[in-house]
């Protein structure tokens, strides 16, 4: 009981700190605020994904002509990462919010060295300022996803229309850089969907065709006023992973890709080694399903 109280108090403190100091960053482990069903990642799947699955070409792929070798699909040639094990028992989705930034290139270098795919929830403002960084993320085989255009929570959470307009603006930026075919239905609410400011908008966002993803672990790089050292970020990651490891098949780790988060770059390699030692396989959220 005492442990529960302390944990609750810690979360409240963490949330309070963040509400005070992290106007453009995430507050805390949002899934803890609204307990999700056992085994759930608090991941939402919407009509967009369902209809997307149905929009695959009917009738299968065209057969190659006799003597002709079928060309590998774009997807097969695009992924530089190890083949996914369909029977993987533990899956980890690394996510980086609020980028791209001056640290993006170094994050990509670590991910390439470790052969780990990740999901980057980018901001349209930063994408417009540095389209080459967005392109570098996609070219490296990672998933670029939508985290709103402005991240101005006091404006975008005024109404569902305001929120959807801002999300669409970010989608427009992504399309302008990566092409009109690039999927932009994957969304993360600034501050997380369980934040009371945006709880009311979840259904509207789903109805508009977006899937949204929160997180159930983090390295705490946006939780405090004081900058955490790489060692402190690692300790916070281990603390939150220990909370879900063994209880959940999948973990979504929240980290940030902003100009001040160089310590996230510095701890990323150790973080990946640690997660691998626990048996996690890394994937992007592209095909993540609700459980």
Among 29, 46, 92, 97, binds Zn ion (CB under 5 A): 97
Q: Does residue 214 belong to the site contacting Zn ion (CB under 5 A)? A: no
- By the rule CB under 5 A, 250 interacts with Zn ion: no
Q: Is the CB of residue 199 less than 8 Å from the CB of residue 157? A: no
**32 binds Zn ion, rule: CB under 5 A:** no
User: Site for Zn ion (CB under 5 A): which residue of 32, 98, 166, 250?
Assistant: 98
In angstroms, give the least distance from the CB of 197 to Zn ion: 13
Least separation in angstroms between residue 25's CB and Zn ion is 6
Closer residue to Zn ion in complex, CB, 190/230? 190
- Tell me which of 190, 192, 220, 230 binds Zn ion, using CB under 5 A: 190
Residue span binding Zn ion (CB under 5 A) among the ranges 101-109, 189-197, 210-218, 237-245: 189-197
Rounded to the nearest whole angstrom, what is the least distance from the CB of residue 187 to Zn ion in the complex?
11
Residues 6+ apart with CB under 8 A from 289: 43, 45
- State the nearest-atom distance from the C-beta of 122 to Zn ion, in Å: 10
Residues 237, 190: Cα–Cα separation, whole Å:
20
Which listed range, 166-174, 188-196, 201-209, 236-244, lies at the site for Zn ion (CB under 5 A)? 188-196
Residues near 177 by beta carbon (within 8 Å), at least 6 away in sequence: 127, 131, 134, 135
Residue nearest to Zn ion (CB): 97
Rounded Cα distance between 165 and 206, Å, is 14
Nearest approach in angstroms of CB 22 to Zn ion is 9
**Residues lying near Zn ion in the complex (CB under 5 A):** 97-98, 190
């Amino acid at each position: 009981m005492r442990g529960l109280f302390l944990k609750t108090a810690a979360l409240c403190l963490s949330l309070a700190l963040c509400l005070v100091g992290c106007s453009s960053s995430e507050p805390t482990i949002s899934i803890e605020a609204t307990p999700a069903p056992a085994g759930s990642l608090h991941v939402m799947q919407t009509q967009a994904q369902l209809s997307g699955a149905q929009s695959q070409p009917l009738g299968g792929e065209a057969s190659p002509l006799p003597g002709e070798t079928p060309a590998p699909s774009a997807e097969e040639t695009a992924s530089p990462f190890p083949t996914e094990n369909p029977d993987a028992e533990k899956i980890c989705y690394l996510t980086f919010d609020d980028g791209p930034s001056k640290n993006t290139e170094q994050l990509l270098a670590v991910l390439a060295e470790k052969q780990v795919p990740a999901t980057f929830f980018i901001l349209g403002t930063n994408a417009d300022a540095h389209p080459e960084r967005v392109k570098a993320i996609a070219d490296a085989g990672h998933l670029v996803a939508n985290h709103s255009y402005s991240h101005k929570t006091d404006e975008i959470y005024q109404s569902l229309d305001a929120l959807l307009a801002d999300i669409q603006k970010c989608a427009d930026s992504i399309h302008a850089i990566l092409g009109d075919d690039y999927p932009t239905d994957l969304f993360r609410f600034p501050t997380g969907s369980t934040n009371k400011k945006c709880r009311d908008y979840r259904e509207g966002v789903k109805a508009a065709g977006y899937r949204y993803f929160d997180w159930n672990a983090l390295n705490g790089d946006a939780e405090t006023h004081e900058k955490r050292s790489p060692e402190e970020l690692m300790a916070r990651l281990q603390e939150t992973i220990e909370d879900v490891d063994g209880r959940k098949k999948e973990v979504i780790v929240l980290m940030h890709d902003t100009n001040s988060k160089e310590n996230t770059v510095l701890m990323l390699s150790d973080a990946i080694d640690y997660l691998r030692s626990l048996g996690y396989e890394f994937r992007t959220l592209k095909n993540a399903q609700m459980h």
